[in-house]
């Protein structure tokens, strides 16, 4: 119940400050938190437990006055059951769609992002759909807050995540604090599903008193040369996290700075369910600190 109240309060604060903010709940009416959402958001809350193509005409009306929506996913229901509908939704409407998948199952992420071709990222297929898989409610609220307040500054086909260095697992943190990014020691560039782990990696580095900043590329084309170069120039070391090595030449060719980008390659099988999240973070942390 405390988790529900925390989530509701966080989204309520957002809705009170941003009149264009809508929340779309992907679960059915049987869940207890649904009534809290309905009470708090009223006409700006929509339950889409049975998401299908019928949702597209409805959102098409919203698209005439709004360009950004957030889909809230619980237990990977959207990723598992309605992913085709979401892809159609993103392709057919001029909307910036942000899917926040709470309690995302590793199997769902593995199935949707890494199969059948590990090198084919979802971001190349759907340029206006970003997916975030926060580790807990607190991180989900930080993500939603950053999206709504444009703290995640959107440029041409690129997104910069300015997250506060804090322990995301501590739900007692004040949700109204300023979201910032600092650091000139370590720069991390990544894309797609890896951004979920990169956020925790940056948090781990900050806990070890290492300044770090994250540049997330949700789309794998038309890189913003200015931002990539800025990341490299302002950091003593820059690391590019990737699932395969196809992007390395294109990333390297965009950078004119003298700094070297270190590439950390990650085997797709590492994301299978038997591999827990701490193990992946430990692996990335050890790789970076070994330089």
CB-based contact 24:51 (threshold 8 Å): no
Specify the DSSP element, H or E, that contains 8: helix 2-17
- pLDDT for 61 beyond 70: no
CB-based contact 161:199 (threshold 8 Å): yes
| The pLDDT value given to residue 105 | 52
Helix axes 194-207, 277-289, angle to 10 degrees: 60
- pLDDT for 211 beyond 70: yes
CB-based contact 6:29 (threshold 8 Å): no
Q: 3-state class of 216 per DSSP?
A: strand
- pLDDT for 25 beyond 50: yes
Reading the block at residue 46, the tokens are 């929509």
| The pLDDT value given to residue 234 | 75
Mean predicted confidence (pLDDT) in 58-74? 62
Peptide bond into 116 cis (omega under 30): yes
| The pLDDT value given to residue 171 | 29
- Cα–Cα distance measured from residue 139 to residue 132, given in angstroms and rounded to the nearest whole number: 10
Reading the block at residue 27, the tokens are 């679960």
| The pLDDT value given to residue 286 | 92
For 186-289, which CATH class? alpha beta
| The pLDDT value given to residue 65 | 57
- pLDDT for 263 beyond 70: yes
- The structure's pTM equals 0.42
Reading the block at residue 122, the tokens are 């979802």
Residue from 78, 173, 265, 260 nearest 163 by CA: 173
Tell me what the pLDDT averaged over the chain comes to.
60
| The pLDDT value given to residue 182 | 41
| The pLDDT value given to residue 285 | 92
pLDDT digit string, tens, across residues 136-195: 666 666 677 666 666 543 322 223 232 222 222 222 233 222 223 344 588 888 765 566
> Tokens 């049975």 sit at which residue?
50
Q: Where are the domains of the chain?
A: 2-150, 186-289
Mean predicted confidence (pLDDT) in 104-127? 47
Q: CATH classification of 2-150 is 3.40.50.970, yes or no? A: yes
Q: Which of 129-138, 204-213, 243-252 has the lowest mean pLDDT?
A: 243-252
| The pLDDT value given to residue 214 | 73
- Cα–Cα distance measured from residue 199 to residue 213, given in angstroms and rounded to the nearest whole number: 9
CB-based contact 39:27 (threshold 8 Å): no
Q: How many CB atoms lie within 10 A of CB 20?
A: 13
Per-residue confidence band for 30, with pLDDT thresholds at 50, 70 and 90: very low
Q: Which of 53-67, 105-119, 133-147 has the lowest mean pLDDT?
A: 105-119
């Amino acid at each position: 119940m405390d988790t529900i109240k925390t989530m509701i309060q966080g989204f309520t604060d957002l809705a009170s400050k941003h009149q264009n903010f809508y929340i779309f709940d992907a679960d059915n009416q049987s869940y207890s938190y649904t009534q809290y959402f309905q009470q708090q958001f009223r006409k700006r809350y929509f339950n889409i437990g049975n998401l299908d193509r019928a949702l597209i005409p409805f959102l098409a009306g919203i698209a005439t006055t709004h360009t950004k929506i957030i889909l809230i996913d619980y237990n990977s229901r959207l990723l598992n059951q309605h992913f085709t509908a979401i892809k159609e939704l993103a392709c057919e409407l001029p909307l910036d769609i942000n899917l926040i998948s709470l309690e995302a199952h590793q199997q769902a992420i593995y199935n949707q992002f890494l199969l059948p071709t590990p090198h084919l990222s979802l971001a190349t297929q759907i340029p206006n759909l970003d997916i975030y898989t926060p580790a807990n409610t607190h991180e989900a609220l930080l993500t939603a807050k950053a999206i709504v307040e444009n703290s995640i500054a959107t440029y041409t086909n690129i997104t910069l995540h300015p997250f506060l260095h804090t322990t995301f697992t501590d739900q007692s943190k004040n949700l109204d604090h300023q979201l910032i990014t600092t650091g000139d020691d370590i720069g991390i560039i990544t894309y797609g599903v890896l951004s979920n782990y990169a956020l925790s990696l940056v948090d781990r580095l900050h806990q070890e008193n290492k300044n770090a900043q994250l540049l997330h590329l949700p789309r794998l084309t038309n890189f913003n040369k200015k931002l990539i170069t800025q990341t490299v120039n302002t950091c003593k070391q820059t690391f590019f996290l990737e699932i395969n090595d196809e992007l390395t030449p294109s990333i390297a060719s965009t950078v004119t700075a003298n700094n070297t980008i270190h590439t950390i390659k990650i085997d797709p099988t590492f994301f299978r369910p038997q591999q827990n999240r701490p193990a992946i973070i430990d692996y990335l942390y050890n790789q970076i600190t070994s330089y």
